[in-house]
Chains A and B, each alone.
Chain A
Amino acid sequence: MTDEKKSCLRGSGLTKIFGLGQKKTVAVDHVDFNFYAGEIISIVGESGSGKTTLAKMLLGLISTTEGEIYFEGKLRDISTQKKKREYWKGIQAIFQDPYSSYNIFNKIDTVLLDCIKMRGGGRLPHAKKIEMISEACSFVNLKFEELTNKYPFELSGGQMQRLMIARIFLLKPKVLLADEPTSMIDACSRATILDMLMALRKETGMTLIFITHDIGLAYFVSDSVYIMEHGKLIESGTADEVILHPKKAYTKRLINDVPKIHEEWDLSTVKVSSIWNEA
């Protein structure tokens, strides 16, 4: 490890097994990785490849079956609720479905005030807190005056997704894990969300981890790309290496199957023979 590249998140032999005996499913299978601080990383895989399970393990939302996670060089300890909260100051997430990301009983004010509290600003004067919240909202083109005293269900999907980013703005975590942040919105709003995430990263210098099935997005934003297949990280490298010169057949197929506009989209490679081979 060199001086300029500080390890931020490192996993060794990370494994998650669901179920027992015959019904055992290995969702994540002995995965090793090392994410450096300040990098933009993408983990790409199809549905069922285990990428969301990996994300949940990184966040400490589910336990690991085997293996260790090191956060900033130290073995992470989330054995108690208090330590977990401490860990979450450093790592935060944005999920695919903004509708299910909020506690429906909490007003927007509570959601945002909690973020300030989590950063240790619980004793600040109220006016100062409101000022901070307004700043965060205007960062994502929302007006706090319009949101105050509202419940999450009163917001549109786009507003909720932007509010998630406003939360991150207040929390300023060291690592942001974005699990399919753009898969439920159309291409045009995708650019808006990406712009905001990039602006936020510029401001805080945080490490960004994208979990996505959108190879175009992964190539566009990230410094390094990891390809995941059946719970294993099969290929990794810089974005140019992996996307333009893929080595594994799986990666090649994945890239080949995305419709393109300047290169030909080869439909002749589609093989359909048995119903079982695509399950």
Chain B
Amino acid sequence: MAKVMLEVKDLTTKYITRFRENVYAVDHVSLKVEEGKSLGIAGESGCGKSTLALSLMGYYFPPLHYTSGDIIIDGTNISTMKPDEIRKKILGQEIAYIPQAAMNALNPTRKIINLIEDVIQAHDPKAKKKEIYDLAVERFEVLGLPAEVLQKYPVELSGGMKQRTVIAISVILSPKILIADEPSSALDVTSQKMVIKMLLDLMEHGFIKSMIFITHELPLLYNVTDDIMVMYAGQIVEKGTAAQTVFDPLHPYAKGLMGSIIVPERGLRDVKLTAIPGVPPNLKNPPHGCRFAERCRYVVPECKVHPIEMLHIADNRHYRCIFSEEYLRKAYQND
């Protein structure tokens, strides 16, 4: 069995609003990423995808606070570590994070090579400039980025180029896991493809051991990741391989999401788009039962009585619904 790079057990994190209300944006999330594998997280805006990404790093800024659960990176539990320790030993080295507008994170007054020196020296103050330069050139060459980029200022680069440079910098210390939060949503399709190619290259060359990819674009996830998790209102509602989640979703919400996919393919025009009515619940006061019940077309009164547990129907295949697999499949077929 492959080595587990990241294991998260029952992680719960909350936002505390200025009115002292608790908003549990990540609610008992468990996941596991093995070496050489990638995991995709899908869901609509506000479902907690990005909060989960931030929580996984174990480094919390107010108003985000840790509540309970374990984050284990390659055998080390980081959830009990002090923020300073995490900053020095974990971030960048063990776990790297690419935020949504990563390309805006480049300091415009410094050359790319200076930014790389900063990252490396933050973890190893004795690192020599020459060594850093050699490492950067080597790394950029493997990733298909021209070495001349190193001597440029960020403004001299195009959007797609900047994004790829940021990714290359953030993984310069070869972290065990890379968390990419919508790394390509601000780019046009061609640049997006280059970014994706680069992420896959990183995995192939072993610069990163595993990856978590967050986006709301399902066709993209399907092409990039091995497994896909669907998140709704802070909870995981479905998990399976990419093909299972996209072509055979079980949870009604996941089914609804798959019904909104638009890709320029033959036969698309005959597809009926399904819009999910309503809006997600307010997490300040989430419903006691199934959180999707208000918007679900298969809802029965029992849905709203007890919190719904995750059902394990096979290895690496889970969903959170009171109905059986057979019942749901049949219901989808009849529609």
A residues engaging B (CB < 8 A)?
46-47, 158, 185-192, 194-195, 213-220, 239-240, 243-244, 253-255, 257-263, 265, 267, 270, 272-275, 278-279
Contact with A along B270-292 (1 / 0, CB 8 A): 01011111010000000000000
Contact B44 A257 (CB under 8 A): no
Chain B residues with CB under 8 Å of A275's CB are 146, 148-149, 152, 157-158, 161
Is B71 at the interface (CB under 8 A from chain A)? no
Chain A residues with CB under 8 Å of B200's CB are 267
Chain B residues with CB under 8 Å of A261's CB are 218-219, 222-223, 246, 261, 263, 265
Contact A188 B273 (CB under 8 A): no
Total contacts A-B at CB 8 Å: 132
Contact B257 A219 (CB under 8 A): no
> Measured between C-beta atoms, what is the minimum distance from B265 to chain A in Å?
5
Contact A188 B265 (CB under 8 A): no
Is B333 at the interface (CB under 8 A from chain A)? no
The CA-CA distance from A273 to B148 in the complex, in Å, is: 11
The CA-CA distance from A265 to B246 in the complex, in Å, is: 15
> Measured between C-beta atoms, what is the minimum distance from B40 to chain A in Å?
12
Contact B263 A188 (CB under 8 A): no
Closest A residue to B274 using CB positions: A191
Known interface pairs A259-B220, A260-B264; A185-B45 also in contact (CB < 8 Å): yes
Chain B residues with CB under 8 Å of A273's CB are 144, 146
The CA-CA distance from A47 to B246 in the complex, in Å, is: 29
Q: Looking at the complex, which one of B160, B261, B277 makes contact with A187 (CB distance below 8 Å)?
A: B261
Q: Pick the interface stretch among B91-99, B118-126, B188-196.
A: B188-196
Query: Beyond the given A267-B197, A275-B158, could you list 17 further A-B residue pairs with CB under 8 A, ordered by the A residue number?
Result: A185-B45, A188-B256, A213-B189, A219-B262, A219-B268, A220-B262, A220-B268, A239-B269, A257-B189, A257-B192, A262-B267, A267-B193, A270-B197, A272-B197, A275-B161, A278-B161, A278-B190
Chain A residues with CB under 8 Å of B216's CB are 186-188
The CA-CA distance from A170 to B99 in the complex, in Å, is: 41
> Measured between C-beta atoms, what is the minimum distance from A120 to chain B in Å?
34
Known interface pairs A260-B263, A260-B265, A275-B161; A265-B223 also in contact (CB < 8 Å): yes
Known interface pairs A186-B44, A190-B260, A278-B194; A272-B265 also in contact (CB < 8 Å): no
List 30 interface pairs A-B (beta carbons < 8 Å), by A numbering. A46-B190, A186-B216, A187-B257, A187-B261, A187-B262, A188-B216, A191-B259, A191-B274, A191-B275, A214-B262, A216-B262, A218-B264, A219-B269, A220-B268, A255-B264, A257-B192, A258-B189, A258-B264, A259-B219, A260-B263, A260-B264, A261-B261, A262-B263, A265-B223, A267-B200, A270-B197, A272-B194, A275-B148, A275-B152, A278-B190
Q: Looking at the complex, which one of A194, A253, A263 makes contact with B273 (CB distance below 8 Å)?
A: A194
Contact A272 B144 (CB under 8 A): yes
> Measured between C-beta atoms, what is the minimum distance from B299 to chain A in Å?
18
Closest B residue to A265 using CB positions: B223
Contact B273 A191 (CB under 8 A): yes
Is B29 at the interface (CB under 8 A from chain A)? no
Q: Looking at the complex, which one of B44, B146, B197, B276 makes contact with A274 (CB distance below 8 Å)?
A: B146
Contact A187 B260 (CB under 8 A): yes
The CA-CA distance from A46 to B192 in the complex, in Å, is: 12
Is B266 at the interface (CB under 8 A from chain A)? yes
Chain B residues with CB under 8 Å of A279's CB are 158, 161
The CA-CA distance from A190 to B216 in the complex, in Å, is: 12
Chain B residues with CB under 8 Å of A215's CB are 189, 264
Known interface pairs A219-B264, A220-B268, A239-B269; A254-B189 also in contact (CB < 8 Å): yes
Contact A244 B273 (CB under 8 A): no
The CA-CA distance from A259 to B257 in the complex, in Å, is: 16
Contact B263 A216 (CB under 8 A): yes
**Among A189, A215, A253, which residue has the most Cβ atoms of chain B within 10 A?**
A189
> Measured between C-beta atoms, what is the minimum distance from B298 to chain A in Å?
17
The CA-CA distance from A46 to B257 in the complex, in Å, is: 26
> Measured between C-beta atoms, what is the minimum distance from A182 to chain B in Å?
9
The CA-CA distance from A190 to B259 in the complex, in Å, is: 11
Is B217 at the interface (CB under 8 A from chain A)? yes
The CA-CA distance from A186 to B277 in the complex, in Å, is: 14
Chain B residues with CB under 8 Å of A191's CB are 259-260, 273-276
Chain A residues with CB under 8 Å of B273's CB are 191, 194-195, 220
Chain B residues with CB under 8 Å of A219's CB are 262, 264, 268-269
Known interface pairs A46-B188, A188-B256; A257-B149 also in contact (CB < 8 Å): no
> Measured between C-beta atoms, what is the minimum distance from A250 to chain B in Å?
10
Q: Looking at the complex, which one of B160, B257, B266 makes contact with A244 (CB distance below 8 Å)?
A: B266
Contact with A along B126-150 (1 / 0, CB 8 A): 0000000000000000001110110
Closest A residue to B158 using CB positions: A279
Contact B269 A47 (CB under 8 A): no
Contact with A along B190-228 (1 / 0, CB 8 A): 111110110010000000000000001111101100000
Contact A189 B266 (CB under 8 A): no
Chain A residues with CB under 8 Å of B260's CB are 187-188, 190-191
The CA-CA distance from A251 to B158 in the complex, in Å, is: 22
> Measured between C-beta atoms, what is the minimum distance from A155 to chain B in Å?
13
The CA-CA distance from A214 to B185 in the complex, in Å, is: 12
Contact A259 B222 (CB under 8 A): yes
